Amino acid sequence: MQPTITIPKDWNYLCFTFGDRTQQGIIIGFEYYAEDSFLAERYGSGWRYSVIPHKNSDELLHYHESQIKPLSPEELSSQIIAEIDCHQQQIDVRKQQLLMVRRGSING
């Protein structure tokens, strides 16, 4: 079952969602500041996004929606290919370890 998020009719719709990669990093959360709220007076009304600069970061940054910039198709493609290459290297290492275990070269 797919999770569903319901947005009240008087709120603007999200431009970004969970896991989106942007120039600022990866979106991991968001919240809405209604126009008549204290937080909107302080930070601006609308959507604010929680972003980590990269997947291994422990730094959490917060941006107003107007500050978030999407990646170009080329940048997004490059990031995804780099991640696939990294995972492929890990798979190759694990395959080599498995081969060594089957040959009896490694004791588990």
- Tell me the per-residue pLDDT of 30-62, one tens digit each, with 9 for 90 and over: 999 998 899 999 889 999 999 999 988 999 999
Distance CA 21, CA 57 (A): 14
Which of the four pLDDT bands, split at 50, 70 and 90, describes residue 25? very high
pTM across the whole model: 0.77
Element (H, E) at 80: helix 73-102
Q: Give CA–CA dist 59/53, Å, rounded.
A: 7
Residue type, 66: S
Q: Position of tokens 């569903």?
A: 4
pLDDT band at 12; cut points 50, 70, 90: confident
Give the integer Cα–Cα distance in Å for 107 and 32. Answer: 54
Q: What per-residue string of b and e applies to 72-88 under the rule 16 or more CB within 10 Å gives b?
A: eeeeeeeeeeeeeeeee
